[in-house]
Amino acid sequence: MSSREIQNQKATALEMMVQQATHANADVSVSPLRGNVIRSGENRREYTRESTPDDGFYEPVEPSTLPATRSDAANLMRAVQHLEVIAKRQAPRIAFKAKGSILLLDLADILAVQAEGNYVSLQHRPNPYLVHESLSSMAEKLKPYGLIRIHRSVVVNISAVEEIQPLPTGEYRLRVKGGKEYLVTRTYKENLRDLAQLWVGSDRLCG
């Protein structure tokens, strides 16, 4: 199951839970078969009014006809939590050699990748790691996982970007989580469009 499919299932489960909670908390709901359902504010017992409006007779509603409430909401919550566990297990990771061992890191925890001579530095909090690889090669490998190139020596994780500031030179200053800033050169400014799925009031950005 892909990460997108997992996220779609989580969104569907949450939407169902909200709809059921809203339905269950309604003071008055309508039953197409038995008429108006009236809920007592004191003891929460349900009654339906008979079709004859003048007889003043109210009949208890069968529990099986009541809308799903707490138990279904709890089941949906457990389903969402289960999907979150699956998503965490399937989160993309990077494996590399460091200090005689092979380390594995979640790509989501890598803020940026910087060129360091014949190496690249994985900007991982709290400790960066050096990997013997060219930045061009790393940029190609990491592009499908949401890391974009913004400079000839820098690749950033789009999920870590918090702010973009245009500069008079036509370049941009980009701030990531933790406060570190990077320069986006004009050569790579088109890549900034990948930072968000929806742009509002920024039509000329990166143009």
Position 72 confidence tier, pLDDT thresholds 50, 70, 90: confident
Which of 3-12, 37-46, 184-193 shows the lowest mean pLDDT across its residues?
Answer: 37-46
25-32 contact pairs (CB < 8 A, 24+): 29/67, 31/61, 31/65
pLDDT surpassing 60 at residue 65: no
Residue 163 CB coordination number (10 Å): 10
Q: pLDDT by residue (tens digit) across 78-136? A: 777 666 655 555 568 888 888 788 988 898 899 999 999 999 999 987 789 999 999 99
Q: From CA 82, how far away is CA 23, in angstroms rounded?
A: 25
Higher pLDDT, 144 or 12: 144
Higher pLDDT, 128 or 204: 128
Q: From CA 68, how far away is CA 94, in angstroms rounded?
A: 44
- Quote the pLDDT of residue 49: 46
- Quote the pLDDT of residue 48: 44
Q: pLDDT by residue (tens digit) across 161-189? A: 999 999 999 999 999 998 999 999 999 99
Residue 149 in contact with residue 184, Cβ under 8 Å? no
**Residue 52 DSSP SS3:** coil
- Quote the pLDDT of residue 27: 45
Q: From CA 191, how far away is CA 99, in angstroms rounded?
A: 34
Element (H, E) at 105: strand 101-106
Higher pLDDT, 136 or 22: 136
89-95 contact pairs (CB < 8 A, 24+): 90/1, 90/2, 90/3, 90/6, 91/3, 92/145, 94/122, 94/142
Mean per-residue pLDDT for 143-158?
94
Written as six digits, the tokens of 184 are 């986006």
Q: 55 burial class (0-12, 13-18, 19+ CB within 10 angstroms)?
A: exposed
Q: From CA 34, how far away is CA 130, in angstroms rounded?
A: 71
**Mean pLDDT score of the chain:** 75
- Quote the pLDDT of residue 74: 77
Residue 37 CB coordination number (10 Å): 19
Position 18 confidence tier, pLDDT thresholds 50, 70, 90: low
Computed on alpha carbons and rounded to an integer, the radius of gyration of the chain in Å comes to: 27
Higher pLDDT, 165 or 8: 165
Burial pattern 86-109, b for ≥16 Cβ within 10 A else e, equals bbeeeeeebebeeeeeeeeeebee
